[in-house]
Amino acid sequence: MGVQHHKMFIGGEWRDAADAYEIRNPANEELVATVAKGGADDVDAAVAAARAAFRSGCWSGLTGDERRAVMLRIAEGVSENLEELIELEIAANGATVRQAGGFHIGLAAPHMTYFAELAAKHEVERGIATAPYPTISHNILRREPIGVCAGILPWNFPLVLSLWKIGPALAAGNTVVIKTDEKTPLSTLAFARIAHEAGLPAGVLNVITGDGEDVGARLASHPDVGKVAFTGSTAVGREIMRLASQTVKKVSLELGGKGAAVVLDDADLETVADAALFGCCLYSGQMCESITRLIVPDSIHDELVARIVARAATIKLGDPADYDTDLGPVISAEQHERILSYLQIGRDEGATVATGGGVPEGPGFEKGFWVQPTVFTDVTNDMRIAREEIFGPVLTVIRYSGDPAEGVAIANDSIYGLSAAVWSGDYERALEVAAKLEAGTVWVNDVHMVTPELPFGGYKQSGLGRELGPDALNEYSEVKHIHVDLSQRREARAYDMVLSDG
């Protein structure tokens, strides 16, 4: 069987382009597929299809219960195609089969189901009591769909993060244009097929592929797009804001992070050692909410580091399709070089490599983009490895005296505020620390726990707005106030404040 070519999905049909991308497996660099490389004209076609579908009322005109029924069929289709989606995800982004099954793909159907249920619960209209002065009136607040909503995706969790945009947008009655990352479009394109087969009307969901500088920029600035949601780096998020400001559209951004875990002196060290590695090494650290700064009291520092180093030695790197593999490759040669450059920066800054620090050797690692799980000690919070997002399996361990206030100050000394954690055997102490950490999500004695029922997003330069949670649809709707005068008589109205009888 030859290499399959994938087209874009626009207006309910598959659309090709004159140019194409190559999708290569990051574990062995073998060619997996080719994908249409779209341009600004394809963006215009997708937005036009979405706008026409919205105005037709084929989706926006349905009740919440009717949208729920279609979305539940889509979620069922995702479950039925789980193996295909896992294979596509592993081949494109290097996730291990366990990670893909548990996170990258395994979360997709439950998250879509959650948004489907929100569609039925969404309060579209409610009356608001007001004072009878200056006139007696009835007032209504309506939440109405925005229209065409755009989602611009990263490469690390392409399917789940697309559903964080698609799900609430559809539930609120909008139509959607998704721009996938050029490295990992396969699972999102497959989702478009699944949604179409489940009965989603043509034009309601459109998926385009292309370069960010061309396709992403056109989508973010397009005058007929009313909302743009972006997940990715803080630098690109700033550019998305600039482009969106040209037409003053709604924007939500989920950006970078440099998650800090404050370990208190009464924490269970065996558990913290496991959690620290899980926090920084899940999907080779290529997660915005990874915990990459471990802030440790002097009194337990040496013992905890020794436990982390010993545990890191048990992590198995290898073929992502092997169920026994713990850690796969990083996504690309570019990312590989970036991470290795930071490992050298850490050494140059005076940090100590406690374990890892390079590329694994031996059979299976001759090709592909591999990085060892790496732990730096002797790190201070002013070092670049402690301040900048590396996006790799790299943990920086920072000492502090043991005073929780000092640990909090170190954790908060960052431009980022996406995630944080506290580890302690005393929940009262842990909650006191958690309340002072500047982050959108703070875990107590846990990491990486993101569920659709709870909002997710960042403080500071980690983003704007929130995804997930019971209010997720608010990001994809406009609030309209309708005022109905009930006075019935001219003399009972407030006109005489401006107009006299004379």
Residues with catalytic roles: 254, 288
CA terminus-to-terminus distance, the chain: 89
Q: What number of other Cβ atoms are within 10 A of residue 95's Cβ?
A: 29
The runs of H, that is alpha helices, within 379-480 are 384-387, 404-412, 427-434
Distance in angstroms (rounded) separating the CA atoms of residues 7 and 15: 5
Of the candidates 263, 257, 223, the residue with the CA atom closest to the CA atom of residue 243: 223
Distance in angstroms (rounded) separating the CA atoms of residues 296 and 318: 31
371, 336 contact by CB (below 8 A): yes
Q: Which residues contact 188 (CB under 8 A, 6 or more apart)?
A: 153, 158, 159, 162, 178, 180, 207
CA distances from 486 to 41, 138, 400, 489, 497 (A): 50, 7, 66, 9, 18
Distance in angstroms (rounded) separating the CA atoms of residues 200 and 466: 26
Of the candidates 384, 313, 296, 390, the residue with the CA atom closest to the CA atom of residue 354: 313
152, 240 contact by CB (below 8 A): yes
SS3 465: coil
Distance in angstroms (rounded) separating the CA atoms of residues 268 and 266: 7
Q: Which helix (H) or strand (E) holds 120?
A: helix 108-121
SS3 46: helix
Q: Which residues contact 287 (CB under 8 A, 6 or more apart)?
A: 156, 157, 448
CA 476 to chain centre: 16
Q: Which residues contact 202 (CB under 8 A, 6 or more apart)?
A: 11, 12, 13, 49, 53, 196
SS3 308: helix
Phi-psi region of 337 (alpha: psi -120 to 50; beta: other; left: phi over 0): alpha
Both tokens assigned to 111: 């998250």
Buried b (16+ CB within 10 A) or exposed e, 19-41: ebbebbbbbbeeebbebbbbbee
Q: What number of other Cβ atoms are within 10 A of residue 17's Cβ?
A: 18
